[in-house]
Structure 1
C-alpha cells in the first residue's frame, strides 16, 4: 500500500440535516430499549461536566448489547451522529453532542464473566466501577484505575476517556489495564481487538473483509508516522491527550484495543471490554507530609517516588480553605500535619505491619518534614475524601467567582512539577485569575498531574476571549515542559483545538487519518478531539447567555445572588447523585437509585431547570415555568434535601422543586393535584380535628377499608394506611399537666410541630420528662402554630410564607431573649434552620430562630454541661431522617446514644421513601416502596427483636410501621424509657 492509499484526514464536521421524526420512529420500531426524543430527556442530556452544551437529537437506553448495535444501524441509515455515553461526567465536552446519545448505564451493566486465574473479566460498558469492584471482591481482585468519581463512573466512560485516578500510581491508566475490546464501527463493522502478533495480523488480513482493511490501514499509518510518534509523544506517566497511536508501535504489540482507549466515542462504539485485574491491597497506611507551599510539596515528589507508594497525591491550603468554607469533610482535615500544602503518600501490603514498615522507611529519610501516619482505615478514608472532594470544593465558593474546567488536568514529568506549578501560577497572575489566594492546586503529584478549576469569566464576550487566550498560552507552557494538555480527563472540545501545539502538524494529520479510517463521514461524536469545534463555541454559558428571569420569586436564593438561574447552574455535572449504592449515610438521590433514570437524578433535574430558562434561545424546553417536561422530572423528586449536603456543589433540589411548583401553578390553582391541597393543608385539618375532638370518629372512618378508599380517592392520594390522629394533642396534655421542674439550666421552648402535636404526642411527653430530669424548664406555645413545611413541600409558598411569618412573630419574644427552641420533628426543625432563612434572609428574627433552634441531642450535649443521659444500654438501628442528615446533622445523636450505653448502627439506607407528602401522592407508591426495599426494610428484617428501631422522623416511622410492622421510636422515647418517671 502506498501513502496515497490512506484516507485523507477529516478536517471539519460535515453539516447535514437529519430527519429526526423518521429517526425516532425507526429507533422505536427496531430497538429493544427506551427511545426518548422528548424535550425533557434531550434537556437532561444536554451537557456533561464541562463548559459545553449541545442538545442531543434523542436518547436511546438499549436493553442489550445487540439493541445498541441496532441503534447504531438505524442512526447510520439516517446519517445521524452517535455519541456513546457512560456516567456523563466528562470534563472536556466529549459527553455532549447533537447526536443520538446511547446511555448504557441503565441496562447494559453486567459483569459477564470472571477468570480469576487469568485475572481478567468481561464487562458491559454501563457497569459502574464501584459496582464492578464490589462483585469482584470475593475473588480478591479489582480493576485498578479508580477516578474520584468511582461511585458513579462507568467502565465504558473510563475506557472512552482513558481514566486514571489516584490508584494509577500503582496500576497505570485504563489503557494499561485492557486485555481486549469488542467494538463497533459506524459502518457496522464489528470485531474484538487487542495486541496483535504478526501471525494474528496475517490471519486477519487473509479474510479480506472490512476489518482487514482497517488493520491494513492502521499498519500503514503506523509505519508512515512511527518516527514522528516516537519523537512527539511525551514520555510521562500521564499522557492522555491525543489518540494512542503509540499503542500501534511494534514495541507495544500493535495493540488496537490500546489505540481505541481514550478515543472518546469519536472512532468506535465499545460493546464489551475484557479487563485486566489486580489483587486487592489487603492493608494500607497513609503518610501525610506537610510543606510550606505547594511548589515545595511538588518538589518533594522525587524524594518519595523511590519508596514505591501505591498512591501519591498533593493538595494545597486553598483547597482546604474552600472545603472549610463549604463545611466539607471537617473531621478529616484535623488529621493533617502542620503545613500549607501536603503530600498524601499511601503504602500497601498483605499485612498492616508490611504497609506500616514501608511508611516508616519514608518517614525515616524525611525526619525534618512534618508528618502524620495513619493506619486506621476509617481515618484514612475520611482524609482521602478530602482529596476526592476537590471538584465540588472548588466549584462554587461563597463570596468568590465561580470556577470552571478548562485547564484542570495538565500533566508534566514529575521531576519538573514544582517548576511547572510556579510558572502556571505566574500565568494565573498575568491573566488576572490569581485573586487573593489563587485557584486551588491539587492532584496526582506522583504522576505530575495537576487538577485545578479557574475563575474564568464565561459570562461575557471579553471574558470568553480571555479564556481562549489563556488556554492557548497554557498549552504552550505545558508543551515547553514536555507535558500533556490532559493527564486524565481527555481532550474533547476543550483541548481538541490545542492538540497541534502539543503534537505538531504531522502527528495531528495522523490523528485525522486515523479518524478517517474508522469514521470517514465523521458521524462518531463529531467535533471532538479531531476536526474539533472551537473551544469557545457551544458554551453552556458564554457572552450571549441570557436566561429568563423571574421578578417575583418566593425563595430568595441568598447563596446564589438572588438568582434562580444561578441556582440551577450550580450543578457541575460530577454525577455524585447517580450513585447506585448508598454509602457512609448518604441520601441523594433516592428516585435515581430506584429508577436509574438521568431525569430522576439531581443532575438531570438541574439540567432541565437550566434549559427551562432557555438562555440560548434554542433549547428543547420553550414554555418556561409552565413546562410539563420539568414538572414530570420533578414529580419523583422526594424533596429529601439529600443533595443539599451530599452534592459537592450543594444543589438544593427540594427548594428548586418548591419554587418551580409555586411558579408552575401560579394563577392556576385549579391545575394543582388534589393531593397538594389534602396534604399541604394537613395542619389546618389536624387543628380542626383537635378543636372538635373528633379524632376517634375520624380514625374509625379512615381505618374502615371502604371509607378509607373513598377518602383517599377524593383526596387524590395513594390507597395506603392513613396515620391515626392522637386522642389528645401534645399542647392539650402540656396545658393540663402544668409546668414542672426547677429549671436550673434555664428555659427551653418545645416546638409543638404538627406531627408530634397531633399524631405522636407521646414523643413530646417523653421529651418533656427527659428535659425536666436534665434540669430544663420547658415552655410551649398554647396557640395553634405551624412552620409551614407541608405548604413548602407542595409548592404553596404564598401560604407557607404567611404561616411562617405568623409563627416567627409568635416566637420572637422568646428568641429575642436568647431562648432556645427545641424541635423534635426533623423536617419541621429543618424549616427553622434552613428554609425560613432562604424565604426571609433579611429578617433578624428569622436569623435568631435559625441560630437558636436545636435538636434534642444538641440541647443535651452542647447546651447541658455535665449532663449524663439515662443508662439505656441495648442495641439500636437508626434510620436518620433525610432533613436531619442534610440540615441538622446526626453527630450529636451518636454521642448522646454512646453516653447512654446504646450500641447504635446508623443504616446506610438513604431515604425511607415516604418523604413527607411524597409517598402519599398519587402515582408515587411504587417508588416509595422500592426506596424502602433497597436497604431499610431488608436490614430491619435482619435485626433481632430486641434491637430498637430509632427513627426521629414521622415519615420514617410511618413507612416502617406500614411496610415492616415494627414500631419505631424517637430518640426522646428511647432515652426516656430508661429515665425515672
Structure 2
C-alpha cells in the first residue's frame, strides 16, 4: 500500500477544491520554489497545512516552517541536504501519535505517512523471519500483510492503527505486551537512513574491528556552502570511542528499567559489543549475541530523528500466538491493585493493564461501556486485566486458574489449577 488516503477533511482532495497549496500566500515562497524543484512529493508551506502539523497526540503545539511529503528516499535526501546548507531544522514525522511532542517543532516536517507506506519484502524463513518496509508503513497494515505467514511485529503501541514503522523505530516503541516483546530496538536488523548532510546509508550489524578500521574522527569537513564530505568515518570513530572509553560510565549511569527509552541506546550498544544482548523479555542473554559485533541500526532506535532520518527498515518478526486467555481482577483500592502486580508477574503473563477509578468513571458515563462496567462488583475502584498467551484454550484456562488460585480464596473457576499453584 503506497501511503494512506487522507481525502476526508483535506480541501485539496474535494472534487470542487480550489485550494492552492503553492499560491503566493505561503511561508517562505523562495524555499517552496527551491524544494519543489528538488522533490517529486508535495511541498506545502501554506497556513492551513502548517496548522494541521502544529500538533500531534500530545498537548504540545509548534507551527512548522512547512511540510514536505516525500515520495522516495531521494526526496528525503534532497530536503535534508538543502536544509543542511541553509541551517534549517528538519523533523521526520510518522503518524503523529507521539505523546510527548516528538512530532512537532519549528522545522521543515518530513511526513512519510502520505506516500512512503509500502511493504517491500517479507522473508518468512522459520529461523529468522523479517519484513522490510518504508518508514511510513502503518503497523496495523504491516501486520495484516504478514499475518498469512503466522507472523507479527512484536511491539504493539496502542495507536498501531495509525502509528508507522519509522515512528516505532524513532521512539523505540513498545506496547501492552512489552513483558514478552520488549522494545522495537530488539527487532531492528537494518535501516536505510539519511544523515545530516543528506547522504543515504544503510546501517546494520558490523564487526567492532571493522568499525575501528573505518573510523576517522577528522573526516567531517564542512565547506562554505554546507556539508561536502562523508560523515560515516566520523560516526564510526565516535561509536568506537564510546565503546573504548565510556562503557563503564554507561554501565554505571543507565537505569536498569525494562521500558527505558530515555537518551540514546548506548547501553544496548555496549551490551552487544560484549555479546551480552538481553532477550526482550529479560529472561537472559540472547543466544545469538556474539562479542565483537554491534548493530548501528539499533542505535537509531529511540533517537527521535536526531541522529538520522530513517526511510526504510528491516525488522525481525515473532510468531502469532495460538490463543489468549484473560483474567479480570477487581479491587476496591488502587494501591491494592498496584501491590498485586509483582506477584501476578510471577505467573508470566503477556500483559497486565490497570484501569483506575478515573477510567472506570469515564466508562460509566459512556453509553457503549456503561453496561459492561455495570457488571463489576459493587464498590470496584480499580481493575487489573491480566492476559496470557497459550498453545491451546485448555492451557489458557489453566493459566488463569493458577492465577486465580494464587491471588484469591474460595473462588470457583472453570479449570482446575495446576498442582501447587496456590502454594
Structure 1-normalised TM-score?
A: 0.35
Checking the alignment, whether the CA contact within 8 Å between 1:284 and 1:355 is kept in structure 2 is yes
Q: CA deviation at 1:159?
A: 1.3
Task: Report the Cα distance in structure 1 between the residues aligned to 2:336 and 2:198, rounded to whole angstroms.
Answer: 53
| Residues 328 and 125 (structure 1), Cα distance of their counterparts in 2 relative to 1, 3 Å cut | farther
* Structure 1 counterpart of 2:328: 288
Q: CA deviation at 1:55?
A: 1.0
- Normalized per residue, the structure richer in helix is 1
* Structure 2 counterpart of 1:343: 384
Task: Report the Cα distance in structure 2 between the residues aligned to 1:137 and 1:373, rounded to whole angstroms.
Answer: 31
Task: Report the Cα distance in structure 2 between the residues aligned to 1:292 and 1:51, rounded to whole angstroms.
Answer: 32
1:170 aligns to 2:180 (yes or no) = yes
**1:85 pairs with 57, 71, 93, which one?**
93
Checking the alignment, whether the CA contact within 8 Å between 1:34 and 1:61 is kept in structure 2 is yes
1:201 aligns to 2:242 (yes or no) = no
1:226 aligns to 2:247 (yes or no) = yes
1:186 aligns to 2:207 (yes or no) = no
Deviations, residues 787-811 of structure 1 (Å, cap 9, x unaligned): xxxxxxxxxxxxxxxxxxxxxxxxx
Task: Report the Cα distance in structure 1 between the residues aligned to 2:108 and 2:412, rounded to whole angstroms.
Answer: 51
Task: Report the Cα distance in structure 2 between the residues aligned to 1:313 and 1:370, rounded to whole angstroms.
Answer: 22
Task: Report the Cα distance in structure 2 between the residues aligned to 1:319 and 1:103, rounded to whole angstroms.
Answer: 33
Deviations, residues 170-206 of structure 1 (Å, cap 9, x unaligned): 1111112211222211112332223432344256449
1:264 aligns to 2:304 (yes or no) = yes
1:244 aligns to 2:265 (yes or no) = yes
Partner SS, residue 329 of structure 2: strand
Checking the alignment, whether the CA contact within 8 Å between 1:285 and 1:373 is kept in structure 2 is no
Checking the alignment, whether the CA contact within 8 Å between 2:39 and 2:78 is kept in structure 1 is yes
* Structure 1 counterpart of 2:15: none
Gaps of 5+ in 2: 1-26, 220-229, 278-292, 416-423
1:69 aligns to 2:77 (yes or no) = yes
* Structure 1 counterpart of 2:29: 21
Task: Report the Cα distance in structure 2 between the residues aligned to 1:337 and 1:167, rounded to whole angstroms.
Answer: 27
- Normalized per residue, the structure richer in strand is 2
Checking the alignment, whether the CA contact within 8 Å between 1:46 and 1:54 is kept in structure 2 is yes
* Structure 2 counterpart of 1:520: none
**1:100 pairs with 105, 108, 117, which one?**
108
1:364 aligns to 2:405 (yes or no) = yes
| Residues 302 and 369 (structure 1), Cα distance of their counterparts in 2 relative to 1, 3 Å cut | farther
* Structure 2 counterpart of 1:210: 231
Alignment root-mean-square deviation, CA: 2.4
Alignment of 1:310-321 (within 5 A): 310-321=350-361
Q: CA deviation at 1:35?
A: 0.7
Partner SS, residue 105 of structure 1: coil
Structure 2-normalised TM-score?
A: 0.79
**2:133 pairs with 123, 134, 143, which one?**
123
Task: Report the Cα distance in structure 1 between the residues aligned to 2:179 and 2:321, rounded to whole angstroms.
Answer: 13
Checking the alignment, whether the CA contact within 8 Å between 2:123 and 2:129 is kept in structure 1 is yes
Alignment of 1:618-637 (within 5 A): none
Deviations, residues 285-307 of structure 1 (Å, cap 9, x unaligned): 10111222121111111111121
Partner SS, residue 359 of structure 1: helix
Task: Report the Cα distance in structure 2 between the residues aligned to 1:301 and 1:126, rounded to whole angstroms.
Answer: 36
**1:34 pairs with 38, 42, 51, which one?**
42
Task: Report the Cα distance in structure 2 between the residues aligned to 1:372 and 1:60, rounded to whole angstroms.
Answer: 57
Gaps of 5+ in 1: 1-18, 375-981
Task: Report the Cα distance in structure 1 between the residues aligned to 2:316 and 2:372, rounded to whole angstroms.
Answer: 33
Task: Report the Cα distance in structure 2 between the residues aligned to 1:285 and 1:368, rounded to whole angstroms.
Answer: 21
| Residues 280 and 371 (structure 1), Cα distance of their counterparts in 2 relative to 1, 3 Å cut | farther
Checking the alignment, whether the CA contact within 8 Å between 1:162 and 1:262 is kept in structure 2 is yes
1:329 aligns to 2:337 (yes or no) = no
Q: CA deviation at 1:334?
A: 4.5
| Residues 258 and 372 (structure 1), Cα distance of their counterparts in 2 relative to 1, 3 Å cut | farther
Task: Considering Cα pairs closer than 8 Å and 6+ residues apart, tell me whether 1 or 2 has the greater RCO.
Answer: 2
Checking the alignment, whether the CA contact within 8 Å between 1:158 and 1:174 is kept in structure 2 is yes
Checking the alignment, whether the CA contact within 8 Å between 1:106 and 1:126 is kept in structure 2 is yes
Alignment of 1:309-458 (within 5 A): 309-327=349-367, 329-334=369-374, 336=376, 339-368=380-409
Q: Which has the larger radius of gyration?
A: 1
| Residues 127 and 330 (structure 1), Cα distance of their counterparts in 2 relative to 1, 3 Å cut | farther
Checking the alignment, whether the CA contact within 8 Å between 2:132 and 2:312 is kept in structure 1 is yes
